[in-house]
Amino acid sequence: MDTAWARRMLGRLEPWFETLQGFHDRANAHALYDPATPEGRIRFSNLQVFLRQLLPWRPTVLLVGEAPGYRGAWRTGVNFCAESNMMGPKDRFGLFGGAEAGYRLIAEGQRLRSEASATVVQRVFQELPEPVLVWPALPLHPHRPGVDESNRTPTPAELRRDGLPQLEQLIGIFGPAHIAAVGNIGHATLAGLGIEATKIRHPAHGGGPAFRDGLLALMNDRH
């Protein structure tokens, strides 16, 4: 565990944090970290708590997914993580841990939400030798107009305008030794940056076993 490196990395990530906080809600996409909204401030705080737990491990692998879902990161601010994960006990790497660790809910007093993909991903993560960093191709929650609790596929224009720049910024600062895509959108977005990444099956729609096999193979073949 390298807490000094983690502190330095958090400082270096400040320009990227500013990029994330610069997004605002649109008719068909929610901004996760807008400091002008109470929910945005809570999600950003959760992201900070998570990174303070994760970064001392000096993760070397970046997984690039698609976009936050309404049952998962739109509520928590942490990717492939639902409220039931975030507010549960710490995992084997010391991640999460609920209110005692500093995590907060955007709506108190409601039943904790779960997400199918987050459940699969977090379960598989417990089989890894070390934790990984996961980030979406699009850092906004794309939804159908007028239906907040829905998901839609990001458009190519959204990915070019809002996805590529922030992802390139993150990769440039974080400098992961290994980059892989979770699903087609992440793979295509990385290709747009000239990165030929391994593609792992997305866990949605019955893809959990293939996701597990692909991620374990990636972790075993790194060296």
pLDDT tens sequence across 14-34: 999 999 999 999 999 999 999
Packing angle, helices 38-54 and 14-21, rounded to 10: 150
The pLDDT of residue 108:
84
pTM for the model stands at 0.95
Measured CA distances, 207 to 97, 108, 147, 202 (Å): 27, 32, 26, 6
Q: Quick one: angle between helices 3-12 and 14-21, nearest 10?
A: 50
| pLDDT mean across residues, the chain | 94
Asked if residues 79 and 125 have their Cβ atoms less than 8 Å apart, the reply is no
Domains contained in the chain, CATH given: 3-220 (3.40.470.10)
Take residue 103 and report the two structure tokens written for it. Answer: 């995590």
**Scanning the structure block, which residue is given the tokens 């001392």?**
56
Residue 25 pLDDT? 93
Q: Is 170 left (phi over 0), alpha (psi -120 to 50) or beta?
A: alpha
Which parts of 23-105 fold into alpha helices (H)?
38-54, 73-76, 83-86
Helices (H), 77-139: 83-86, 116-125
pLDDT grade, residue 223 (50/70/90)?
low
| Total residues found in the chain within this entry | 223
Q: Does residue 109 have a pLDDT over 70?
A: yes
Percent of the chain with pLDDT over 70: 99
Find the helix packing angle between 164-174 and 3-12, rounded to 10°: 140
**Residues 153-200: pLDDT tens digits?**
999 999 999 999 999 999 999 999 999 999 999 999 999 999 999 999
Confidence of residue 221 (pLDDT cuts 50, 70, 90): confident
pLDDT score recorded for residue 17: 97
Average pLDDT over residues 128-137: 96
Q: Determine the 3-state secondary structure of 133 from DSSP.
A: strand
Question: What letter does residue 3 receive in the DSSP assignment?
Answer: H
CB 180 within 8 A of CB 23: no
- DSSP reduced 3-state for 128: coil
